[in-house]
Every structure is written in C-alpha cells, then in structure tokens.
Structure 1
Amino acid sequence: MRIIIERSNLLKTLGHVHRVVERRNTIPILSNVLVKTEDGALRLKATDLDLEITETVAANGEQEGATTVPAHLLYDIVRKLADGSEVKLATNAEGSQMTVTSGRSNFRLQCLPESDFPDITAGTFSHSFKIAASALARLVERTQFAISTEETRYYLNGIFLHTIESEGKLRLRAVATDGHRLARAEMEAPAGSEGMPGIIIPRKTVGELQKLLDDGGDDILVELSDSKIRFTIGPVVMTSKLIDGTFPDYQRVIPQGNDKALTLDRQSFSAAVDRVSTISSERGRAVKLAVTAGQLTLTVNSPDSGTATEELAVGYESDDIEIGFNARYLLDITGQLSGDEAVFMLADPGSPTLIKDGGDDGTLYVLMPMRV
C-alpha cells in the first residue's frame, strides 16, 4: 500500500481511533490499528474486542493495500510532525514494515498482517433510528457521572437506555446509578425506537461517545440489538458490545411522597458547598444542610481541620429539617443542572431526596443522605 494524506486529517482520525486501544495488551494485534487504503481513501480501525471504532478519511491513494501498526506509536509520530505537512504511508513488498515519511522525517514501523485483526461488527441490528447529536449528548452528559465503577455490580457499569410510555407519549430515557445517587434524563422517542430492547451501554463506550459528540455533527444514526449498538457519527462508526445483565427496577428508588420543597439558586449553592467542603481533606465527607424558613445553613465538621459554615437565602416553607449529603455528589449533580434554580424535594433525614432541574423538565436526580 502507498498513500499520501494531510497530517492534520490523519491526526484527527487517529485521535478518534487510537483511544480505544488499551496501553497494555496480552494480545499483540490489539495494540495495533488497521490501516487500509481503498477507493482513494484511508480507513483506520481499532478495537479492544468489546468496542470498535472505524473512520474513513479522504487521501491520495497511490496503491491499495492493508496492514496493522502500533496505534499509540503511530499517533505519537504523527502528533509530532510539522503542522501543514503531508504524510506518506507505504508498506514494503512483504508487508512486514510500514514507512512513515514527512519532509525529512522517516520512520519504519513493524507490521502485523491484516488477516489477524479481529472484527466485532458481525451480526444484524433489530432497531435503528436517527437522533440529533445535541439531544444524544444531553442524555449522556446528564447521566454519565452516576455510572457505578464497582465491578461486582457490573450491570450498573453503564447507562440504561430504553423507551417508556409517559403521559401518553413514548419517551427515550437514559438512567445511571451507583446505589448512592441516580440520574435520569429523557426526551421524546425518535421514530424507529419503538419496541427497542432496554440496553446497558458500557462506561468506556459512553466515554468515547461523549468525545465524539464533542466534535459536533448533525443527526446520528443509532443501530442496536440485544447484544450490540452502533453509532454512525459523520465518518466515524463506533460499534460496541452491550452489558449482558438486567438493570434494576430504578422506579422503586425514585421517591413519590417527598413534600418539603427547597428552592435555591444553583450557582450560589454549588459555590457554597465547594467552599465549606474545603475544610475536609477526606473524600466523601458529609455536608450538613440545616433548612429553616427562608434560610439554609451548610456545615462541615472535620476532627482534624475544624468547622466551616455558610448561610444562603432559599425558598422554603415546610418544617425545619437537618439532612447530610456527600459534598462530591452534590457538586456532581448541581454541575449537570441547566437552570438557574434547583428544587430539592425532601422527606426526612433518612430518606432519599429528589432533585429537579429548574431549566429542564426531562431530568431528575435522586440522592441518598448521609449520617452527620
């Protein structure tokens, strides 16, 4: 194979693809990226056997062919080449080496044959629909922070995506929880999503999807089955296996009877939580919220460092209540809210609290209290 390509185009494409490749691999071929020239274009593909990303980019193809080279090494080489330069990729007759040439720079990389490279895209997809990139990004961003990292509860290690009938309309809903907090975001279900299976998108896939969505785009094609999902975002195609497990009945943990409404300014509250939690060096230290009519007092006590308090004016007309929360979780949730106001629906110091976004009716959060 022999092809010439703009360095910026190659770097952008490699940037999308090489992230999938794990730094440490017991299987050598999984450290490589598949480089293929066909129809005057360059196609790159990388996989970790659970997730696969393919991207096609325009190039000046002089001779068709395919090989695989170390992904992170090729990315680092291209990243260090001069801006605006052209890069020539060429393999020797045996296909055992690839030469990367740009200006006076010349690199020879060891190759592994294309035939050894695995393919996880086999199989059919039962459902497909198009969704605006901004809408999908919103669903992911509003929920991803609550994904569990506890490997023993593997079925919580992703976002649960499903459709649900709500107020006579079909809604597409994303849910994530780690047992301490729950995040739920929804939108009107796109055409074609009717009857789709409830699926759990793995944490790594969610992270890569976020990065690809950050690059912008218009409508995204989503194809899925019981075991796989595929996103087509412009020239990028990302295919992922799904988590094979049953997501718990999250509806049971969303409180229905919380009648104490606390309305507060989101930014002021977030800044206050951040300030008072400075007193504690321990991660996960509780911050106590003492709520009275029109006033909220935040308190953090640290046996090592001392005490911090701050008062805020709030909207509250119910009985006085004191309740504790993990400061980090409060900051995570308030960081996702889009409105100026946040509404905390409280019950008692031992029951979960419901948090609503004043600027987005489609999202809600549940937070378990802590003892203080």
Structure 2
Amino acid sequence: MKFIVSQESFKEELGFIQGVVEKRSAIPVLSSVLIKSIGKDKIKLVATDYDTSLITTISAEVLEEGSTCLPGKKLFDIIRLLDPGNVTFTKKGDELVQIESGRSSFRLIDYSEDSFPEVPAVPELTSTIDCSSLALFIQMTSFAITQEQIRYTLSGAKFESKAGKVRMVTTDGHRLALIEKDIPTSNDVNFDILIPKKALSELSKLAKEEGICRFGEDQNLLYFQIGERSLIVRKLAGQFPNYEMVIPKADLTVAEFDANEMKSAIRRVSLMADERNKTVKLTLDKNSIEIESETQGEGAGYETISADYDGQRISIGFNAQYLQDFLNVVSVPSSASVEKETEGDKAKARVNSTKIKFEFKDSYSQVLMRPLGERDYNYMYIIMPIRL
C-alpha cells in the first residue's frame, strides 16, 4: 500500500479518532487505526473499542491499493507535529510502514488487518436532526449522567421524539436535565433510544460541523452519520426510569434570580462547604436569597443575592456542584452584552443576563429550575435537596 495525503486533513480526522482509540489496551489492535484505500482517490480510517466505532473517509492520492493497521496515538502524535503539506505512507513488507514528509521520516509497526475487529457497515439512516440542535442537546444534559458504573441504564441519555418534538433526558438519580425542541423528523418517524455517555462525547465533537446528523438503529447497535464520518455504538441494555414522575406539576412556590449572580456567589461560598457532601444552604426571604456553607473546624461562608420572592422564609440544602453544573450551561459572563454561542459558533445555548425560575414545594421535595426568556427550546433541571 502507498498513498499521499494532506497533513492538515489527516491530522483533523485522526483527532476525531483519538476519542475511540483505546490508550492502554491489553489487546494492541484496539489501540490502532485501520487505514484502507477506497479506489484511487480516498482512504478510510476505522477505530473501535468493540462498544464504539468511528469510520471516516478523506481524500488521498492512492498509488498502491491496500490496507495497514497502525498505532493510533503514536500516529496522531507524529502527524500533528509535521509541517503542513503532503505526507507519504509506504508499506514495507508485512510489518513496517514508512511515513515521509519533507525531511522527516518515521517507521511504524504494521498490525495485521486480519486481527482488527470487524466493524459493521452503516445501513440506510432515515431519522435526522441538525447538528447545532444535537450539540445543544448534549451540552445542556450530559453533565447530569451518572458516574456510577453499576447504574448501567443511567450511564447515557434518553433520546426520543414524538409528534414533532425531540427530547433528551439524563439523570443520576439525584438530579435530572431535560431539553425539548420542535424538530420535525424525517417521515415523522418516532424514535426512543439510549445513547451511552462515551458516544455522546464523540457526537458532541462531530456535531461541531455544520450540517445534518442522520441516525438509526438495529437490534444491538446505534448508527450516527455526519458528513463523511460515521459513529457506531453498542446499545445500552435496560429500561430508562419513568422520569416524568419526578417532574413537579403544580402548587409550587416561585422565586426568580439572576443566573450569573447565583453562580458567582455559590462558587465563592462553596469554598467553605464540607468536602464530603459539598452542601450549601439557600435561605429564601423577601426579595433575597442567602447562601451559606460551613465546615466544622475550619469556618463558614455567607453571601446574599437579590431575588424576586415574596413568600415565607425557608431554607433548602443542595449539593453545590449540582447547582454549579446547571448554572454553567445557562449563564454567561456578566460583561457580555450580546447573545453568545457555544464553541464552533453553533448551538445557541446561552443568553446574557439569564433569569432563573426556581420552583419548590418545601425543603424536602425536588426543586425545578429553568431559564426564563425567549428561546427555541424548553429546558428544565430538577434537583433533589439535601436534608439540613
């Protein structure tokens, strides 16, 4: 096999591959990238860890058709440090591949393609969503996915559609993030799938590109396709919990506050929170919210912010990090004066001076928070309080 490829385009595709390539695998081939020629003008890159696979194609001048299997991280480290220009790959026998660019030359061990796991072909995909909406959905919910490996059905996001509305939901049992948007799907086909956390991370990178994400499923796998890149993911087994049961419905007391003010205050006050549970106490009183935290033997922190509230005085405890995670995705720096967009100038998820609607029943029941203001999606965050 011999081919010539642009250093810039090859580096970009290898960058996407890195999230799938196993860094420390007992099976060397899972740390490698399979490179195969497609005719005389393209090559295909494939990486897999058995559960997640990524396939991408790029333009190349193929001088001799064939395939090679090279260590993924080492290959990426070499390519990203080369100067822009053409890079030539030449297979030397059955065990070595020579890489040449300018005055630089490297040799890498070539693993046999026969030992590389078989990756299924991507079927025709009928469901679609625009990449900016997909990136927004992932950004606004992925932080609430459980970190506990034993809670298998919570280690991903529920992605569903019905009657023209698309929704993504995540929860770790202590909090829940939900985003919903009116997005007509192809042929009005409804879907209901669980996307694993690692796949969400890779999709968020792929969705930074402009365009459409096509997706579908079979009995065991999920398929996503954005441009020339395809992500294949093993499904999560099990049933996602009935999350609608925990959404507060009525008879709630309401307070409103500025997201930036609350975010900054919690960041400061939580410095004095106990390391074990990171508890902060929010005390709502007329036109204000008092934020407190304390660590026995060290000291305490206290701050007050203004709020639109005219109810009875009440104190509610929260995990400070859970509040921060929500405020991070709905707030922007206070110096901003125009609408901001997420990285890549897509997925409009943040607006200046965001007001938060804070709805609760008492000190022990779940609290509902949502950003106020005009936007083309609905977003809510539900968090269980900590008993004080």
TM bin, normalised by shorter chain, reads over 0.9
Q: 1:194-233 alignment to 2 at 5 Å?
A: 194-214=188-208, 216-233=209-226
Tell me the secondary structure at the aligned position of residue 186 of structure 2. coil
Tell me the secondary structure at the aligned position of residue 210 of structure 1. helix
Q: 2:273 touches 2:280 (CA, 8 Å); kept in 1? A: no
- Under a length normalisation based on structure 1, what TM-score does the superposition of the two structures give? 0.93
- Equivalent in the alignment of 1:160: 158
Q: Which amino acid aligns with 1:91?
A: K
Moved more, 362-371 or 333-342: 333-342
Q: Which amino acid aligns with 1:73?
A: K
Q: CA, structure 1 residues 114+190, in 2 after alignment: closer, same or farther (shift >3 Å)?
A: farther
Q: 1:91-102 alignment to 2 at 5 Å?
A: 91-92=91-92, 94-102=93-101
Show structure 1 runs of 4+ deviating over 6 A. Answer: none
Give the C-alpha shift of residue 195 in structure 1.
5.0
* Cα distance between partner residues in 1 of 2:319 and 2:251: 20
Tell me the secondary structure at the aligned position of residue 12 of structure 2. helix
- Equivalent in the alignment of 1:112: 111
- Equivalent in the alignment of 1:344: 358
- Equivalent in the alignment of 1:307: 300
* Cα distance between partner residues in 2 of 1:54 and 1:46: 7
Instruction: Write out per-residue CA displacement over residues 92-151 of structure 1, whole angstroms, 9 at most, x where no aligned residue.
Output: 2x33211111122211111122232222325857x6222111111111111100001111
* Cα distance between partner residues in 2 of 1:274 and 1:163: 36
Q: 1:159-308 alignment to 2 at 5 Å?
A: 159-164=157-162, 169-192=163-186, 194-214=188-208, 216-280=209-273, 282=275, 284-308=277-301
* Cα distance between partner residues in 2 of 1:123 and 1:8: 26
Tell me the secondary structure at the aligned position of residue 57 of structure 1. strand
Q: Which amino acid aligns with 1:107?
A: F
Tell me the secondary structure at the aligned position of residue 151 of structure 1. coil
* Cα distance between partner residues in 2 of 1:59 and 1:11: 13
Moved more, 296-305 or 348-357: 296-305
Gaps of 5+ in 1: none
- Equivalent in the alignment of 1:358: 372
Give the C-alpha shift of residue 190 in structure 1.
2.9
- Equivalent in the alignment of 2:43: 42
User: What's the % identity of the aligned pairs?
Assistant: 32
Tell me the secondary structure at the aligned position of residue 152 of structure 1. coil
Q: 1:284 touches 1:328 (CA, 8 Å); kept in 2? A: no
Instruction: Write out per-residue CA displacement over residues 179-200 of structure 1, whole angstroms, 9 at most, x where no aligned residue.
Output: 1110001112432374544211
Give the C-alpha shift of residue 36 in structure 1.
1.2
- Under a length normalisation based on structure 2, what TM-score does the superposition of the two structures give? 0.89
Give the C-alpha shift of residue 226 in structure 1.
4.3
Q: 1:350 touches 1:369 (CA, 8 Å); kept in 2? A: yes
Q: Which amino acid aligns with 1:348?
A: D
Tell me the secondary structure at the aligned position of residue 23 of structure 1. coil
Gaps of 5+ in 2: 331-349
* Cα distance between partner residues in 1 of 2:192 and 2:317: 34
Q: CA, structure 1 residues 368+258, in 2 after alignment: closer, same or farther (shift >3 Å)?
A: farther
Give the C-alpha shift of residue 262 in structure 1.
0.8
* Cα distance between partner residues in 2 of 1:288 and 1:102: 60
Q: CA, structure 1 residues 12+350, in 2 after alignment: closer, same or farther (shift >3 Å)?
A: same
Give the C-alpha shift of residue 223 in structure 1.
2.1
Tell me the secondary structure at the aligned position of residue 87 of structure 2. strand
- Equivalent in the alignment of 2:72: 71
* Cα distance between partner residues in 2 of 1:122 and 1:79: 29
Aligned-residue CA RMSD in angstroms? 1.8
* Cα distance between partner residues in 2 of 1:112 and 1:206: 29
Give the C-alpha shift of residue 284 in structure 1.
3.6
Provide the aligned length of Structure 1 versus Structure 2: 364
Q: CA, structure 1 residues 227+186, in 2 after alignment: closer, same or farther (shift >3 Å)?
A: farther
* Cα distance between partner residues in 2 of 1:280 and 1:317: 28
Q: Which amino acid aligns with 2:86?
A: E
Give the C-alpha shift of residue 281 in structure 1.
6.2
Q: 2:161 touches 2:190 (CA, 8 Å); kept in 1? A: yes
- Equivalent in the alignment of 1:54: 55
Give the C-alpha shift of residue 170 in structure 1.
3.4
Q: 1:217 touches 1:234 (CA, 8 Å); kept in 2? A: no
Give the C-alpha shift of residue 85 in structure 1.
3.0
Instruction: Write out per-residue CA displacement over residues 10-36 of structure 1, whole angstroms, 9 at most, x where no aligned residue.
Output: 111111113201112122221110011
Tell me the secondary structure at the aligned position of residue 350 of structure 1. coil
